[in-house]
Structure 1
Amino acid sequence: MREPEIFQLSVAAAFEGLTSKEQLYAHHTARIILRQVSPEATDIFDFIMALHHSCDGQWEHLARRAQVDMTEVEKFLDYAAVFLSPILEITLALEIRSSTLMSHLMTWRSWRTVILLQLNYLLGVPSDTSQSTYYLGEGTLDNMDEVSAVSKLVELLYIFPENTRLRKSVTAEGEISRRTYDILQASIGEDEATLQEPDDQSAHCTRIRLIRGDHKEELKKINQSLSEAMKYAANCEQQKLLSGIAESFASGDLNAYRQAQRVWVKDKAPKIETVFGFVEPYRDPLGVRAEFEGILPWAEGYEESNRKGPFEKELFDIPDFASVQILAYCSSLVFPGINLPNYNDIRQEDGFKNIIFANRMIAESQRARGIHMIHESERKVFQEHRFTAYYIWVVLHEILGHGTSKLLQEDSQGHFNFDREHPPLNPLTGKPIDSWYGPGETWTGVFTDLLTTVDECRAELAGAYLIDVAEILQLFGCTVDSKIKPADVVYNLFQQLGVDGLRALENYNPSTKKWGQAHSRAHFGMLQHMLQSQNLTIRVNRFLLQEGKASLGRMLLRLHIYRCTADMRSCREFYEDLTTVHEEALGWREVVLMKKDPPLAFCHANTFLQGDRVILREYEPTVRGLIQSWAERDL
C-alpha cells in the first residue's frame, strides 16, 4: 500500500472568530461515534486506539517491545491512517496482510483472519466476494420478492428505512420452514413488535418484526452531547433542530428527524451548521438504508438564484448556499459539498441547503490526482486551472444538479402535482408523459440500486454542462480580463472529465462486474458518452468542446426526465449499458491501476473544555498526527 496523502482540515482561524457561546455549541455537537459497515470494523478501530494508548503515540517504543523492524510499524501506521480516514475501506486491509507486526500483535483477536487471509471483500450484496452489515444472516437478499414485501409493509406503516438494517433467520417447525425478517431500528429505546405473523395456510410462512435498540450505546453518547449543545444554541430553530434529532435517536422514529430537517432548512445562513443522522445511502447495495453521518461546519456566505420549468420543483427560488469550514466530518466519505435534506417531499415543500466545504476543497488545489494522464506539455496549465474548474463544478453540482428536478407524483387521494389532463411533453419522445410516481412511491423506492449513481451522474452532468455560461463564470471572478480565463476553465473541466472517467475504473471489480462507488460509475458513464478517442493520455480538442457539451446535454436530459417521470425501466436500460466495462476498458483499468494515486486522508482538529473555555487543537498532517487526533477524541 502506498503511503497516504494526508491533508489538514485547518479551522483555527475561523474558530477564533466564533463567540464563546458558539465555540461551546461547536464543541458539544462535534462529539460523535462513527458506525461502521463491516463486522470487524469496530474491533479494528479499538485495536488501533489501544496500540496508540499503549505506547502513548511513541511508535518506536512499540516496535522495540514487539521486536519488529520499524519499517513494519510504518506500514501499519499507513494502514491505520487510511482505515481511519475515510473510515473502513475494507480492501485496503488486505494490502498489509503479510506484515510481521500484524502477525505478532493480532494472534489473540478473533477477527485477525479478516486481515491475514487472502480475501477480497468489497462492500456490496453479501456474497463470496462482498459484504454488507446492512443485511445480516444467511441469504438475506436471496429472495428479493420477500425483501420487497418487507419494504412495502414498513412503507405502509410509515417506518422509514434510513436508520434500519435487515436480518433474516430461518427456523424449522416440523416440515414447515419459517423465515423471520427482523428490521433493526437505530434507537436508544429497546423493544420489539411483530408486524406480520406467518400464515400457516399459505406458502408464505414469513414473520416480520421491528426490533428497536440498534446502535443504542453510541446514540446515548451522541444524545448526551446534543443535550449539552442545546444550552448554547443561537436561536429557537437550532434548539428545535437538536431536540428533534435527539428525539429521533431516542425513539427511532424518523418522523421526528424529518420535522427537524424542515426546521433546519428554514434556519437560513446560521453561523454554525449542523448535520447529524442517517443521511446518505451510498454504502447500502440497495441504495435505501443510510450511513450515520455527522458534520459540524460554520458558514461564511450566502447566495440565491431563480428559474424553474415543468420538470423543476417550485421551491428553487432561494436556495440556501454556504461555504463553510469543517471542524468535524464523521463519515466514510468526506465530500467537497452536500445538498440536503434527501427527503424529496421536504425539498419540494420546504427547500434545501447547499453547503461547500472550503477547507476540504483546499486539498483539491494541492493534490494532482491523475495528472500523469495529462500530456506533459499541458500539465502545468492543467494544475493551475484545476482548482478553479473543480470548485465551480462542485458548486453547480450541488445547487443546479442536486438542487433541481420535480418528481411528478400522484398522491393517495388521487391528486397530481401536474396537469393530468394536459400533461407536459416528454422531450425524449415528443409525446405527453406516460409515467410518474404513484401513491406512496418515492425516488428511492423506484430507482433502488441505481438511485445514488444516477443522481450523482445527473448532478455532475448539470455542473459540467453549465460551466461555460459566461454569467456563471463571472460570479466566480472568471472574465476575459482575469488571470484565470473562462475558456481555460472550460477546457480544463473537459480534461478533468477524461481523467475522472479513467480513474473511475479503480473502483470497478471485474470479478463481480460491480462498481464500488456511485460517483466513479457516473464518471465512467460520462466519459463513455463523450468518448472520441481511446488514448489513455487525455487530450482535449478546444475546437470540439461544443460537441462535448452537446453530448453532456443529451445525457443530462435523459437522466433528468427518467428521474422526474419515474421511468426506471428506460433509465436502467440506458445507464447499465453505458456503464458496462468492456474488454478494451478493462485494459485501460490495468494501466490506471499501475499508476494509482496514493490514498487520501484528512486530519481533523479536536476541541477540549478547560473550565468554561473551549480549546481547539490541530494536528500535524502525518499518519501519526491523524492517529493521535482519533486517539484524543476518546471514543
Structure 2
Amino acid sequence: MTLALPLLASCGAPAADDRPWIVDRFDDIKVIRYEVPGFENLPLEQKELVYYLSEAAKCGRDILYDQNCPANLPVRRTLEVIYENYRGDRTTPEWKALEKYLKKVWFANGIHHHYSNDKFTPEFTEGYLLDAIETIPEEKFGSLNALRGEVCRAIFDPAVYPTKLNQRAGDDLLLTSSSNYYDGVSQAEAERFYAEMAAAAAGDPEPVSYGLNSQLTKDPATGRLHERTWRVGGMYSPAIERIVYWLEKAASVAREPQKTNIETLVAYYRSGDLKEFDRYNIGWVKDTVSNVDFVNGFIEDYGDPLGRKASWEANVNFMDSAACRRTEIISANAQWFEDHSPVDPAFRKAKVKGVSAKVITVAMLGGDCFPSTPIGINLPNADWIRKEYGSKSVTIDNITYAYDRAAHGNGFNEEFVLRADDRERMDRYGKLADDLHTDLHECLGHGSGQLAPGVRGGELRSYTSTLEEARADLFGLYYLGDGKMVELGLVPSFDVAKAGYAKYILNGLMTQLARIEPGKNVEEAHMRNRKLVAEWCYEHGRADNVIEWVRQDGKTYVVVNDFVRLRALFGELLGEIQRIKSEGDYEAGRDLVERYAVRVDPALHEEVRSRYYGLGIEPYGGFVNPEYELVERDGRVTDVRISYPADYVEQMLGYSRDYSFLPDVN
C-alpha cells in the first residue's frame, strides 16, 4: 500500500558513461550499480549509524526467501553449493542455463518471478542437476542431502509451487499460492480466524494490524489454527537475533528521538507485540529531524493474497537536502491539496496531520527492497496512525537517477512514442514528471482521504493493494497537471504533466505488457493499478477521443489527444476509488479491477513483446549494494569507507555466506 515502483524503462537524461552502471544482464533483468553521493561528507556519528543499520538490513535476507516459498532456501543453497564446487565444464549450455537460473533466484528472492509471481522454468534438466551434484562431496551439502527430492520437485515439477501469489477470482487464494504465510490453511479458515480476532476487539480506536508478523498454521491432529510469531524466540529467531544485535549497535550511536525509536523496534522484535510495533511507528513518523533514517521490519502485505501478512524489508537512507525543496513545498501545502481534491467532501480529511516528505539518498537496500526496489515509500500503513499522527514519505533520488542513466539511449521512445512533440516533452521533462508524481503519490496520495464511520479498512480484501495504488497514482496524476504546481514553482508549465500523462497511459495500455509472459493475465498490484487507470480513462474518454489507438507502418501506438480532459478523467476515477475505499465497497472495487485491470489482449501482447525485446533491453532492473567498512584506530571508529562492487554474483554469494542464519526448513 505504500510503494511506488518504476514504470517500464524508457529514455532518461543524457549521460556519456551509462553502460558501466549496468554490472550484469540476464534473462529479462539488468543489474545496476547505484552510488551514494554525499556519504563521505556525513559526520562520523552518522556514517557509523549508516554502517550498523546497513548490517541489520542484510541480516533478514533469509526471512524473505522463506516467506516467499518454503522451498526457496533449500533450492538457493543447493544451487550455491553446486556453483561454488562444480569442477566440470562451465562453458556448456546446460551450465550457463543453471547459472542463469541461480541469478534469477537471487534476484527474485526465490523460485518465482519477482513481478509476475510465476515459477521459473529451468532450461537445464533434472538429470544434469543430479549429475552435477554427484561430482561434489556429500559433506559440502550437509543437511541439504535429505532435501534433494524436495529441491528437484520445486524446480522441475510445474504442478509444485506453480505461482507465488494467485489472485484469480473464484480460487482459494491461499491453497493455490506458494507463499509461506499460511501453512495448510484455507482462505475461508484464515478469513474467519482474523474476522473473529477483529470482532473481539471491536470498538478499539487503535486496532493492531492483526496477523502482520506471523505465519498462520493448522495443527494436523486437531485442526486448530494458531500463529507462529516472527520474533526473538519464535519463528525466524536466528535471523531476528542478528537484526536486533545490529540495531542495538545503531542505538548506541543514535541521538534522540531516534535512539528511543530504535530501542522500541528492538522491544517489538523481542516480544512480537503489535502494540509495540504501533508505538514504534508513532515515534518513527514523529521523528522529522534525524538526517539518517531507515525502514526495518515486517511492513508491506503485497505478497499475501489476503493483504494481511507482511514481508520483511529494510532500507537505510539519509536526506538529499538540495532535492528536498520540492517535497517540503508539497508537504507545506498538504491541506490545500486535500481541500481541493476531486472527491466527496465527506471523504476528505478536515485536518491533515503530520505529513512529512523528503527526497533521500539510499545507502543500503535489504529484504523485499533488494535487489529490485521501490522508488518511493510512504509509511506507516495503519489508517488510525496516519489519521492521528500523519505519515512520512520519501522519494529515492539516487535510485531514480541510476535507473535513468541505465536506460539512456536504449531506443524505447523512438520505438513506442509516435509523436515527436511527445518524445521531446518526455526527453525534457520526463524525469521531473516522474519524480513529482512519485512525491505526490507517496507524500499526499496514500495519506489523503478518510474512512467513513464504521469502516475499519480491510473490507476490500484481495483487491486492497491494487485499489490503494490506483488511488495514490490518481492523486498524483490529477495534481501533476494543476495550476497550483506552477504557482508553487515546482513545474514551469503544463508540459510537465503532458510528459507524465503520455508516458503513464502508454505504459498502462501497452508497454508494461512486455513484463508479462505469453498467455498470462496481469497479476502484480502496481501493474493492475496502471492498467485499471489507463483502460478506464480510455473507455470513458472515447466519445471525446481523449486517448486514441493508432496504426502506422504496421505498428500499434497509443496517443493522448486531450490532456486537459484526461486530467478531468483522472479526477473522476479518483473520486470513485476514494468512495470505494471510504465505504468499504467490496463489490464495486472487485468489479473495477476485474473489468479493467486483469485481462490482456493476446495480439497486442505479442506485438509489444516482439517490439520491446527487439530493442535488446530488459524490462526489469535491480541493484548491487555498496559496501561499507569500519576504519578503527586504538579500538575507536575513526571513519567508515564506502566502495562500489561491480560483481553481482560475488555480492550474492557473499551475502549467502555472511548473512544466512536460518535453517533449511523453518
Per the normalisation by structure 1, the TM-score is 0.79
State the SS of the aligned residue for 1:392.
helix
Inter-CA distance 145–471: structure 2 relative to 1 (3 Å threshold): closer
State the SS of the aligned residue for 2:460.
helix
Match of 1:356?
Answer: 395
Q: Distance in 2 between matches of 1:281 and 1:28?
A: 26
State the SS of the aligned residue for 2:394.
strand
CA contact 2:97–2:122 (8 Å) conserved in 1? yes
Task: Tell me whether 1:590 sits opposite 2:640 in the alignment.
Answer: no
For 2:262, which of 236, 242, 246 is the aligned residue? 242
Q: Distance in 2 between matches of 1:103 and 1:381?
A: 55
Deviation, 1:317, is 5.2
Inter-CA distance 121–250: structure 2 relative to 1 (3 Å threshold): same
CA contact 1:606–1:633 (8 Å) conserved in 2? no
Q: Deviations over 1:429-463 (max 9, x none)?
A: xxxxxxxx1xxxx21x2121111110000111111
CA contact 1:605–1:616 (8 Å) conserved in 2? no
Q: Distance in 2 between matches of 1:393 and 1:155?
A: 38
Inter-CA distance 73–603: structure 2 relative to 1 (3 Å threshold): farther
CA contact 1:502–1:592 (8 Å) conserved in 2? yes
Q: Distance in 1 between matches of 2:549 and 2:242?
A: 53
* 1:469-480 → structure 2 map (5 Å cutoff): 469-473=482-486, 478-479=491-492
Task: Tell me whether 1:520 sits opposite 2:527 in the alignment.
Answer: yes
CA contact 2:403–2:621 (8 Å) conserved in 1? no
For 2:537, which of 530, 541, 548 is the aligned residue? 530
Q: Distance in 1 between matches of 2:258 and 2:592?
A: 43
Between stretches 550-559 and 87-96, larger displacement belongs to 87-96
For 1:20, which of 44, 48, 54 is the aligned residue? 44
Deviation, 1:147, is 4.2
Q: Distance in 2 between matches of 1:93 and 1:579?
A: 22
Match of 1:547?
Answer: 565
Match of 2:75?
Answer: 44
For 1:571, which of 575, 589, 612 is the aligned residue? 589
State the SS of the aligned residue for 2:293.
coil
Match of 1:58?
Answer: none
Inter-CA distance 155–168: structure 2 relative to 1 (3 Å threshold): farther
Q: Distance in 2 between matches of 1:82 and 1:385?
A: 34
Amino acid at match of 2:475: A
Q: Distance in 2 between matches of 1:623 and 1:385?
A: 32
Q: Distance in 1 between matches of 2:54 and 2:106?
A: 17
Between stretches 359-368 and 282-291, larger displacement belongs to 359-368
For 1:344, which of 375, 383, 407 is the aligned residue? 383
Deviation, 1:325, is 1.2
Inter-CA distance 158–398: structure 2 relative to 1 (3 Å threshold): closer
Inter-CA distance 155–5: structure 2 relative to 1 (3 Å threshold): farther
Match of 1:5?
Answer: 30
For 1:160, which of 195, 210, 232 is the aligned residue? 210
Q: Distance in 1 between matches of 2:466 and 2:650?
A: 34
Between stretches 619-628 and 275-284, larger displacement belongs to 619-628
Q: Distance in 2 between matches of 1:354 and 1:556?
A: 20
Task: Tell me whether 1:116 sits opposite 2:166 in the alignment.
Answer: no
Deviation, 1:498, is 1.9
Deviation, 1:155, is 5.2
Q: Distance in 2 between matches of 1:472 and 1:105?
A: 60
Between stretches 260-269 and 103-112, larger displacement belongs to 103-112
CA contact 2:466–2:528 (8 Å) conserved in 1? yes
Between stretches 219-228 and 500-509, larger displacement belongs to 500-509
Deviation, 1:619, is 3.5
Amino acid at match of 1:135: Y
Q: Deviations over 1:277-324 (max 9, x none)?
A: 111111101111111111111112451223344423355255211111
For 2:287, which of 249, 267, 282 is the aligned residue? 267
Match of 1:199?
Answer: none
Task: Tell me whether 1:603 sits opposite 2:624 in the alignment.
Answer: yes
* 1:402-441 → structure 2 map (5 Å cutoff): 402-410=446-454, 437=455
Inter-CA distance 495–289: structure 2 relative to 1 (3 Å threshold): same
Amino acid at match of 1:573: D
State the SS of the aligned residue for 1:602.
strand
CA contact 1:4–1:78 (8 Å) conserved in 2? no
CA contact 1:467–1:473 (8 Å) conserved in 2? no
Q: Distance in 2 between matches of 1:95 and 1:229?
A: 42
Match of 2:54?
Answer: 30
Deviation, 1:556, is 0.8
Q: Structure 2 regions of 5+ residues with no counterpart?
A: 1-25, 135-144, 167-171, 340-344, 539-546, 661-666
Per the normalisation by structure 2, the TM-score is 0.75
Match of 1:502?
Answer: 510
Inter-CA distance 41–214: structure 2 relative to 1 (3 Å threshold): same
Inter-CA distance 507–288: structure 2 relative to 1 (3 Å threshold): farther
Q: Deviations over 1:326-354 (max 9, x none)?
A: 12222335110011000111111111101
Task: Tell me whether 1:296 sits opposite 2:298 in the alignment.
Answer: no
For 1:140, which of 186, 193, 199 is the aligned residue? 186
State the SS of the aligned residue for 1:293.
strand
Amino acid at match of 1:530: C
Q: Deviations over 1:145-183 (max 9, x none)?
A: 644555546756967211022112443xxxxxx421121
Amino acid at match of 1:167: T
Inter-CA distance 151–518: structure 2 relative to 1 (3 Å threshold): farther
Q: Distance in 1 between matches of 2:425 and 2:97?
A: 35
Match of 2:274?
Answer: 254
Deviation, 1:587, is 2.8
CA contact 2:531–2:597 (8 Å) conserved in 1? yes
Deviation, 1:93, is 6.1
Deviation, 1:222, is 0.6
Q: Distance in 2 between matches of 1:84 and 1:154?
A: 42
Inter-CA distance 225–148: structure 2 relative to 1 (3 Å threshold): closer
Inter-CA distance 602–317: structure 2 relative to 1 (3 Å threshold): same
Q: Distance in 2 between matches of 1:242 and 1:276?
A: 10
Inter-CA distance 82–356: structure 2 relative to 1 (3 Å threshold): farther
Between stretches 139-148 and 605-614, larger displacement belongs to 139-148
Match of 1:426?
Answer: none
* 1:72-151 → structure 2 map (5 Å cutoff): 73-88=95-110, 90-91=112-113, 94-98=120-124, 102=129, 104-106=131-133, 109=148, 110-118=150-158, 120-124=162-166, 130-137=177-184, 140-141=186-187, 143=189, 146-147=192-193, 149=195, 151=197
How many residue pairs align between the two structures? 554
Deviation, 1:516, is 2.7
For 1:388, which of 398, 410, 432 is the aligned residue? 432
Q: Distance in 2 between matches of 1:6 and 1:551?
A: 37
Q: Distance in 2 between matches of 1:632 and 1:234?
A: 33
Q: Structure 1 regions of 5+ residues with no counterpart?
A: 56-61, 172-177, 190-212, 411-436, 481-485
Q: Distance in 1 between matches of 2:514 and 2:219?
A: 36
Q: Distance in 1 between matches of 2:656 and 2:208?
A: 40
Between stretches 178-187 and 239-248, larger displacement belongs to 178-187
CA contact 1:269–1:320 (8 Å) conserved in 2? no
State the SS of the aligned residue for 2:510.
helix
RMSD: 3.1
Amino acid at match of 1:33: G
Match of 2:254?
Answer: 233
Between stretches 72-81 and 266-275, larger displacement belongs to 72-81
Q: Distance in 1 between matches of 2:350 and 2:654?
A: 44
CA contact 1:619–1:626 (8 Å) conserved in 2? no
Q: Distance in 1 between matches of 2:220 and 2:523?
A: 30
Q: Deviations over 1:63-121 (max 9, x none)?
A: xx122316655544444444333533614762434269745445653413322334543
Match of 1:214?
Answer: 235
Amino acid at match of 1:335: P
